[in-house]
Structure 1
Amino acid sequence: MTSNGILVTRNGAKINLDPKRGVQNEINFVSHAHLDHLHNQRGQSVLIASKQTSEIAKLRGYVIENYVENYENFTMIDAGHILGAKGLLVDDLFYTGDISIRDRGFMKGAKVPKCKTLITECTFGMPEYVFPSIPDTVKRVNEIISELYGRGKPVILLGYELGKAQILSYLFSHWQPYYHDSVKKVNDLYRSFGIPLNESIGHTEAESMGLLEKKPWLMIAPNLSGRNVFIKHMKSKYDAITIGFSGWAQSSRFSFARGHDYSIPLSDHCDYDELINMIEQCNPEKIYTVHGFVDEFASDLVKRGYDAQPLREGSIDAYL
């Protein structure tokens, strides 16, 4: 682990995994287009990324160009996280990027490969983070929406504008939701890649046309806190009720911190049990944990008989 990201050496080649900046004369890999992984990359030497990641990056004001989707013995693996998200298999080493093995609407869970060395994220690498099934989540939320609709209350479903909001748009399309303008832009791009999301108008247009006066209604919006100006406006003018979606909602602290009326566990990452399941499928000899509860998860894996350790900046190991 370096200040620029994860550096792997294979057969004399240096491979940068989700680097903060591309490195000349080395191989660079961008796993997906969430902002904590996204930086301008212009094809320094070899740049590996998916077409979807490049297009989403452009929408978000970043540049990923002169990239390749196929290169020598490098294999991108669908990570099941968001549209275009990939893990990278290099010989006997697999880097997950951000990963989910759970099917969620149109998103299919990752099918992970066998490997000797695994570098895995562990965002929810604690036993308390085990999420309800998707059908149970949909049932619960539909019941909440139905009850609120019966009282004439508009409802706003809140999830990250890239990834979570599109899952919500799909799972709750039968309510014919409006979209926050930022969500609409991403949904439109998803549709251009063949993802079956309903077309709808953005919140600015809906409000200017007076459509939000006709309550109740449903809207999909980014994961904004209760202190956000948009949320305050929707609550004060339309008496809207907010339902926030996040893996962190599994913790009782989430609702209070975000100021949502309801908090529902739903994530584009593996929960704890899914992380264990993913590792069993990979069956690696060595595991490095990155991003999340790295110490706790590595410790749990050691107790389960695995050779695991956190990957820290400056650490060097013969396996890499």
Structure 2
Amino acid sequence: MTRRVRLGDGIEITFAGGERFVLDGSGAGDTTLVSHAHGDHHARASEIVASDLTAALIATRRSSADPTAVDHPAVELFPAGHVAGSRAMGLTDPDTGRRYLYTGDCSTRDRFHLDGFDPVDADVLVLETTYGTPEYRLPPTEESVAAIQSWLAETMDRPVILFGYALGRAQKLQRILADSPRERVFVTDAIANCSEVIEAHRDVTFPGQRYGPDAELGAGDALVCSGSPRSPWVESLVEARDAVTAGFSGWAVDDSFVYRRGYDEGFVLSDHCDFDELGSVVEAVDPEQVYTQHGFADEFANYVATELGYPAQALKENQATLGDF
């Protein structure tokens, strides 16, 4: 029996006629698909099935040749709600009519400049399960933003350093800061580069000037950066300017988040579906088979099979047959 969906260097989907698609990886295939421009998802291929914005973001984030976004007659792209340019991908086998849906990283919540993922029907669902256990039930985005805004106002006597991925979380923090009392917002070059590409492709603007050696953080200022609060330059900046650090993630539902990561404060702000939203995606797609990958893949596959009643398996790297499960 030929295995149509497997995990190798990326997710591999093989049609009945033998055509092989590699999704979010660099494995050998006939066609490479890229859901979004985070570094752990995009491949080195020169031609990719992806949104134009994803291709442009990859080009600004890597030093090799710029990729070209192309179409494929068997592939349809849907907004995935994860980061700007992210896409879920529907693949239809022309020989069998079998429909595959690969979510990539996804979020069903509308927020800021992003439309949430609207699931579509498919026979086979390949679902990311970053927050695939019940303890990861996240508060509404509006509730999190209100808490962040209150904290930004309460700490106006000190500069703040906000940490988020250069693509994704950082732009949302820039939007939050635009509605805060903080008039001076700085961003690192990596964040500015991503924000400028998004602004060129979408009707959205992100506040913030590039942070350089001449900038001096003072009371009421904000710096958005990626990386770790434990890095030497951040630690020296915190000490010199009496700055407060904050991290933003779905993992912040766990009280240990701030201590493990080294932040002064932590807030729940996620670009992924939480546990309940993942279940809703499965029910909306109503597939014959669910494959889970990333995060709590085993736990969520068990939940889908036992509680939702759908056949489900966690993908394991380089499995060759169903018997390997």
With structure 1 as the length reference, what TM-score do the two structures score? 0.90
Partner in structure 1 of residue 83 of structure 2? 82
Choose which of 183, 201, 204 in structure 2 pairs with 1:196.
204
Distance 1:283 1:64, change over 3 A: farther
Partner in structure 2 of residue 294 of structure 1? 297
Partner in structure 2 of residue 121 of structure 1? 128
CA contact (8 A) 2:127 2:291 kept: yes
CA contact (8 A) 1:121 1:290 kept: yes
Q: What is the root-mean-square deviation in Å for CA atoms of aligned residues?
A: 1.8
Once the two structures are overlaid, the 10-residue window that deviates more, 118-127 or 57-66, is: 57-66
Choose which of 304, 307, 316 in structure 1 pairs with 2:321.
316
CA contact (8 A) 2:79 2:87 kept: yes
CA contact (8 A) 1:33 1:53 kept: yes
Choose which of 273, 287, 300 in structure 2 pairs with 1:270.
273
Deviation at 1:66, TM superposition (A): 4.0
CA contact (8 A) 1:21 1:41 kept: no
CA contact (8 A) 1:41 1:63 kept: no
Deviation at 1:209, TM superposition (A): 4.8
Distance 2:250 2:135 in 1: 11
Partner in structure 1 of residue 154 of structure 2? 147
Q: How does 1:215-234 map to 2 (within 5 A)?
A: 215-222=219-226, 224-234=227-237
Q: How does 1:29-40 map to 2 (within 5 A)?
A: 29-40=33-44
Aligned-partner SS, 1:226 = coil
Distance 1:317 1:50 in 2: 33
Distance 1:209 1:306, change over 3 A: closer
Aligned-partner SS, 1:67 = strand
CA contact (8 A) 1:96 1:121 kept: yes
Distance 1:316 1:28, change over 3 A: farther
Partner in structure 1 of residue 187 of structure 2? 179
Q: How does 1:165-176 map to 2 (within 5 A)?
A: 165-174=170-179, 175-176=182-183
Aligned-partner SS, 1:31 = coil
Q: List, as ranges, runs of 4+ consecutive aligned residues in structure 1 with deviation greater than 6 Å.
A: none
Distance 1:8 1:200 in 2: 41
Deviation at 1:21, TM superposition (A): 4.2
Distance 1:160 1:181 in 2: 12
Aligned-partner SS, 1:208 = coil
With structure 2 as the length reference, what TM-score do the two structures score? 0.89
* Paired positions, count: 305
Distance 1:198 1:17, change over 3 A: closer
% identical equivalent positions: 31
1:60 maps to amino acid: R
Distance 1:95 1:161, change over 3 A: same
CA contact (8 A) 2:55 2:68 kept: no
Distance 2:196 2:236 in 1: 25
Partner in structure 1 of residue 95 of structure 2? none
Aligned-partner SS, 1:16 = strand
Distance 1:168 1:296, change over 3 A: same
Partner in structure 2 of residue 100 of structure 1? 107
Distance 1:209 1:130 in 2: 39
Aligned-partner SS, 1:172 = helix
Partner in structure 1 of residue 46 of structure 2? 42
Partner in structure 1 of residue 69 of structure 2? 67
Partner in structure 1 of residue 256 of structure 2? 253
